[in-house]
Amino acid sequence: MIGLPFSDTFAQSRGPATVEIEVGDITLVCRYFPADGEDPAAAVLLLHGWSWPDNDPSAGLVSVAEAFQHAGFTALVPSMRGWPPSGGSDDCAGRQVDDILQSLEWLGRQPAVDPDKLFLTGFSQGGQIALLAASRGAPVRAVAAFAPVVDPGHWGEHTNIDGIRGYVMEECGGPAGWRSRSVLPAASKLVQPVLLVHGDADRRVPTQQSVKLYQELTAAQRPVQLRLIAGAEHDQDAVLQPQLAIDFFLTSIGDDQKQK
């Protein structure tokens, strides 16, 4: 199920190296950025947002991965199901969630990675998938979701992009498929600390998506933080600020060490 065993060449180079992870019927092609040093390091899986099917949106996360790498993390950046050079079709956080759970398994098995210090980060659809994976038992310490889709039905109704309404009806499964792709019903299962970051001027994936999840998690007494970026729209460069996630994740590691 998990493809391409760890190669010593990964540890000898800061990368990125290209790795392939077999997930059921397809192969995910990923960029792998190993941390420096000989000791097993914390690791983060970074998930891109939606893009046109012939693009590779994971390329837009290279600088984010490098920021994590410079902070001492190993980073894995897959091109998700539905985008080249990986296979399959986009399914709006359907099988994509299972793919990421298997990718985390692969990541945690690498000798250079501390399996007790795994983290998830995603932008937009990637944030949705990260949150859903965490709610389904992903072995991660914390999650940072930037401008995530939280409730597909509400998203399709309130977005300012007409094409998204058709996408929500088709790729998101219509009303029958929305519940399994919504983070809200799974909020009580998000036991990991969650960081939500959203532009307060986002109308493509309206800011209320993160606000609603924050309210649900707060009501459930789950550890959650919400950061709103003033004046930011649905702009990855403005909203996906890696240092926010790095600080959040390092705090969770520090809190654990204090408890010990």
Domain range summary for the chain, segments of one domain joined by +: 8-254
At residue 24 the predicted structure's pLDDT band, cuts being 50, 70 and 90, is confident
Single out the residue of 193, 249, 15 nearest to residue 112, CA to CA.
Answer: 15
pLDDT at 71: 96
- Which pLDDT value is given to residue 138? 97
Is it the case that residue 11 has pLDDT exceeding 50?
A: no
Q: Which pLDDT band, with edges at 50, 70 and 90, does 13 fall under?
A: very low
Mean pLDDT within 114-129: 98
Over residues 16-20, mean pLDDT: 95
Is the per-residue pLDDT at 5 higher than 50?
Answer: no
Percent of the chain at pLDDT exceeding 70: 92
Q: For 22, phi and psi rounded to 5 degrees?
A: -80, 125
Compare 233 and 11 and report the one with higher pLDDT.
Answer: 233
Query: Which CATH number is correct for 8-254, 3.40.190.10, 1.10.150.20, 3.40.50.1820, 1.10.10.10?
Result: 3.40.50.1820
pLDDT at residue 6 tops 60: no
Whether the pLDDT of residue 260 is over 70: the answer is no
**Cα torsion for 193, 104, 83, 47, to the nearest 10°?**
20
* Alpha carbon distances (Å) from 60 to 66, 69, 111, 187: 11, 16, 27, 29
Check if the beta carbon of residue 34 is closer than 8 Å to that of residue 74: yes
Compute the distance between CA of residue 65 and CA of residue 74 in angstroms, rounded to an integer: 8
pLDDT at 116 over 50: yes
Kindly give, in sequence order, each residue whose CB lies less than 8 Å from that of residue 39, ignoring residues fewer than 6 positions away.
Answer: none
pLDDT the model gives residue 256: 57
pTM score, whole prediction: 0.92
Is residue 76 a contact partner of residue 32, using CB atoms and an 8 Å limit? yes
* Mean pLDDT of the 14-33 span: 93
CA atoms of 80 and 61, how far apart (whole Å): 13
* Comparison of pLDDT for 24 and 56, the residue scoring more: 56
- The chain-wide mean pLDDT, for the chain, equals 92
Position 36 scores a pLDDT of 87
What residue type is 36 in one-letter code? D
